[in-house]
């Protein structure tokens, strides 16, 4: 009972048949997974297990390894024949396509399939995935009364113990699944033919390389795209980028002078072509005039548990657990530093905000990089702790965005590649000052490290993770100090 296609290879093949071919026959050519992506994959707890509590007492037929799915198929068949009414990871094969549904339930003599998703909305991929599963299960002989997605309910607010019935929202996709059956059968037929190919299908790069997922063979198919290509033009739709590319304009320097571009794209093109930075001293001076001392440089880290860990929180709510503050009481004062990193296992919010308010009580100005994010997290704490709201509002009133001069192009360097993110601005200004040597080098990894701390018991590992988090966050605010001093210097 070998299978030619699984749910994931089907989705891959629908995105691009070349990707499916390369995955089957040249697996090693896949792009390496970055540490940040790895942190993302290993994040969070198994939401599926919590959904089991809605349908308790089921038999789990999850195979020991992905190579043993045929055993799960046999077990599922036997359980159905013996009258079992709840099966977790129920597996079926039809037409060499394998599908395992998270929960299969028999109620009043009818079968219902539930697929559990750790997200708060139903994507097009989930709809396609459900249609494929329906195709396999129905044709394997199980008539489904309904096929439902159980996704996380973003209006759920935890009160006491997790209530699975309220945590999830069930949405029927039955009519969509039925409507898609002819298309699924046709796609299965087409994708199974990939097995007989001896060379990779001739598929050109296109929008499909990014939709629905960024393909993991881009290192292969995109290797001849040079640096400073039109695909680096920030804020330009993929359609427009490919329109340029397909008309022979591969590099930014190839873009015709009269080609219609937005203001920031024109700045990017001109700066890339001249290799020179752009400085608007008048606007920069106006920005710098808003800065007052004592001046604080503030950066926070948050994590977003899919299943709320703390009272009065919702799925994927940003929970702040760490901050770094560099500060100077006057322009000539020496730079000082303070920080906060919560202990794992407890709700960090109250301690975080109390510590922050105390540390910034003398601040005249708090510089952040991306005020929208930082201020929304801090403002939410004002709702969580109304007794602190007026103090929190005072801090929000003096929060200034260091990103603004870059976002508004008061300063632009060709190395910023059209972006105003600190990850692009910092290396453009200080090529040797970066996070490369740190064990944690971005916010996703910091999130992953703090989530790991929730269950870590090895005291040495705990100490190492905490040291890594502190080093990372501290470097972020130090980077802000350097960026600010740079702006002062060039003005």
Q: Which of residues 430-449 bind ligand SF4 (CB under 6 A)?
A: none
Tokens of 387: 């007794």
**Cβ-Cβ contacts under 8 Å for 86 (sequence gap 6 or more):** 55, 56, 57, 58, 59, 103, 104, 105, 106
Write down how long the chain is. 491
* Interaction between residue 18 and ligand SF4 (CB under 6 A): yes
- Among the candidate windows 85-93, 214-222, 317-325, 385-393, which touches ligand SF4 by CB under 6 A? 214-222
Among 215, 250, 378, 426, binds ligand SF4 (CB under 6 A): 215
Find the farthest-apart pair of alpha carbons in the chain and give their distance in angstroms, rounded: 81
Among 209, 341, 416, 447, binds ligand SF4 (CB under 6 A): 209
Of residues 200 and 438, the one with the C-beta less far from ligand SF4 = 200
**Cβ-Cβ contacts under 8 Å for 186 (sequence gap 6 or more):** none
Q: Report how far residue 152's alpha carbon sits from residue 167's, in angstroms, rounded to the nearest whole number.
A: 6
Tokens of 404: 């603004």
* Interaction between residue 11 and ligand SF4 (CB under 6 A): no
* Interaction between residue 197 and ligand SF4 (CB under 6 A): no
Question: Minimum distance from CB of 218 to ligand SF4 (Å)?
Answer: 5
- Please say whether the beta carbons of 138 and 184 come within 8 A: no
- Among the candidate windows 18-26, 59-67, 68-76, 133-141, which touches ligand SF4 by CB under 6 A? 18-26
Q: Report how far residue 111's alpha carbon sits from residue 376's, in angstroms, rounded to the nearest whole number.
A: 45
Q: Report how far residue 335's alpha carbon sits from residue 205's, in angstroms, rounded to the nearest whole number.
A: 49
Query: How big is the chain by its Cα radius of gyration, in Å?
Result: 27
Among 16, 91, 300, 325, binds ligand SF4 (CB under 6 A): 16
Q: Report how far residue 51's alpha carbon sits from residue 114's, in angstroms, rounded to the nearest whole number.
A: 9
Of residues 35 and 218, the one with the C-beta less far from ligand SF4 = 218
Question: Minimum distance from CB of 206 to ligand SF4 (Å)?
Answer: 7
Q: Which of residues 218-277 bind ligand SF4 (CB under 6 A)?
A: 218, 221
Phi, psi of 245 (to 5 degrees): -60, -45
Among 4, 9, 10, 19, binds ligand SF4 (CB under 6 A): 19
Tokens of 15: 């995105």
Of residues 5 and 480, the one with the C-beta less far from ligand SF4 = 5
- Among the candidate windows 201-209, 343-351, 378-386, 402-410, which touches ligand SF4 by CB under 6 A? 201-209
Binding site for ligand SF4 (CB under 6 A): 16, 18-19, 22, 203, 205, 208-209, 215, 217-218, 221
């Amino acid at each position: 009972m070998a299978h030619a296609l699984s749910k994931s290879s089907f989705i891959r093949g629908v995105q691009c048949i070349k990707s499916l071919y390369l995955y089957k026959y040249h697996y090693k050519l896949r792009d390496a997974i970055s540490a940040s992506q790895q942190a993302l994959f290993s994040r969070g707890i198994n939401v599926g297990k919590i959904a089991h509590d809605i349908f308790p007492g089921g038999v789990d037929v999850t195979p020991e390894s992905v190579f043993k799915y045929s055993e799960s198929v046999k077990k599922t068949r036997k359980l159905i024949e013996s009258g079992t009414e709840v099966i977790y990871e129920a597996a079926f094969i039809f037409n060499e396509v394998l599908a395992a549904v998270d929960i299969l339930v028999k109620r009043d003599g009818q079968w219902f399939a539930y697929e559990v998703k750790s997200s708060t909305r139903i994507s097009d991929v989930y709809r396609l995935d459900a249609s494929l599963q329906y195709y396999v299960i129905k044709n394997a002989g199980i008539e489904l009364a309904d096929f439902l997605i159980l996704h996380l309910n973003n209006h759920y607010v935890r009160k006491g113990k997790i209530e699975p019935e309220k945590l999830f929202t069930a949405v029927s996709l039955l009519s969509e699944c039925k409507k898609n059956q002819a298309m699924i059968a046709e796609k299965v037929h087409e994708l199974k033919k990939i097995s007989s190919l001896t060379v990779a299908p001739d598929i050109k790069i296109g929008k499909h390389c990014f939709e629905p997922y960024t393909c993991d063979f881009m290192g292969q198919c995109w290797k001849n795209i040079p640096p400073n290509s039109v695909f680096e033009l920030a804020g330009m739709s993929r359609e427009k980028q490919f329109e340029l590319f397909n008309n022979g304009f591969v590099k930014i320097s190839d873009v015709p002078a009269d080609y219609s571009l937005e203001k920031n794209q024109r700045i990017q093109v001109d700066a890339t072509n001249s290799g020179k930075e752009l400085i608007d001293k008048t606007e920069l001076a106006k920005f710098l005039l808003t800065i007052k001392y004592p001046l604080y440089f503030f950066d926070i880290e948050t994590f977003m548990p899919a299943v709320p860990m703390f009272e009065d929180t919702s799925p994927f709510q940003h929970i702040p657990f760490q901050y770094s503050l560099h500060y100077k009481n006057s322009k000539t004062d020496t730079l000082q530093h303070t920080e906060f990193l919560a202990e794992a296992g407890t709700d960090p919010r109250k301690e975080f905000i109390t510590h922050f308010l105390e540390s910034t009580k003398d601040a005249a100005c708090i510089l952040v990089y991306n005020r929208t994010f930082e201020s929304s997290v801090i403002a939410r704490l004002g709702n969580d702790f109304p007794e602190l709201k007026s103090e929190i509002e005072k801090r929000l009133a003096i929060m200034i965005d260091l990103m603004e001069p870059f976002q508004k192009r008061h300063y632009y360097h060709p190395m910023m590649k059209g972006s105003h993110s600190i990850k692009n601005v910092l290396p453009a200004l200080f090529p040797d000052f970066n996070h490369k040597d740190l064990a944690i080098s971005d916010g996703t990894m910091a999130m992953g490290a703090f989530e790991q701390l929730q269950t870590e018991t090895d005291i040495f590992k705990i100490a190492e993770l905490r040291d890594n988090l502190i080093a990372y966050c501290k470097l972020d605010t130090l980077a802000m100090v350097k960026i600010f001093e740079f702006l002062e210097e060039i003005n």
